[in-house]
Amino acid sequence: VAWQGGPEGAAALAVVPTPPPAAAEASAAPDATPAPVEPSVAAEEVAAAAGPPAPAAPPVEAAPAPEPEPAILLVLTADSWVEVRDASGTALVARVLKAGERYTVPSRADLVMTVGNAGGVALSVGGQALDPLGAPGEIVRGVPLDAAALLERYRPL
């Protein structure tokens, strides 16, 4: 609507045509509401775009544990006094072991053995038999019960 003045100063009302409001908004801006998409179609499209599932990462292996000290085993072929002591002097065994008995030495580096019949005690380290400790009836003191020390001192059979 506009006011226009006439020749005599009179005011007249002129009607200017304007488009209806709905039509004006439709032509001024595009529809901002997206078209509805079915969820299953959208999920399939995303899955197709992503490709096949990635293979699982290979399991991480832990560092191997250090190998334990080889087992030291005493096998009695004849009765013998056997004494095993630690560095503090505490006796782990101190008695006559009978022929046929076996004694597995605890895995400790501070152990020392004395035997009263060296010929009646067979030693093995990690399943490997060693030379005899001595002659039958011989007393042998200060035998270190450490695998490396035994392998240096006594030859494998």
Chain segment 41-63, per-residue pLDDT in tens: 555 555 555 556 666 666 667 76
Q: What is the pLDDT of residues 65-91, one digit of tens each?
A: 666 667 999 999 999 999 999 999 999
- With a CB cutoff of 8 Å and minimum separation 6, the contacts of 36 are none
Number of domains the chain is built from: 1
**Residue 22: inside a domain:** no
**Residue 93: inside a domain:** yes
**Residue-range definition of the domain harbouring residue 98:** 81-153
**Residue 109: inside a domain:** yes
**Residue 55: inside a domain:** no
Q: Dihedrals φ, ψ of 119, to 5°?
A: -70, -15
| Helix, strand or coil, per DSSP, at residue 128 | strand
User: Is the pLDDT reported for residue 11 higher than 60?
Assistant: no
Q: Where are the beta strands (DSSP E) in the chain?
A: 2-5, 11-14, 72-76, 80-85, 91-97, 102-105, 112-115, 121-125, 128-129, 140-144
Q: What is the pLDDT of residues 113-150, one digit of tens each?
A: 999 999 999 999 999 999 999 999 999 999 999 999 99
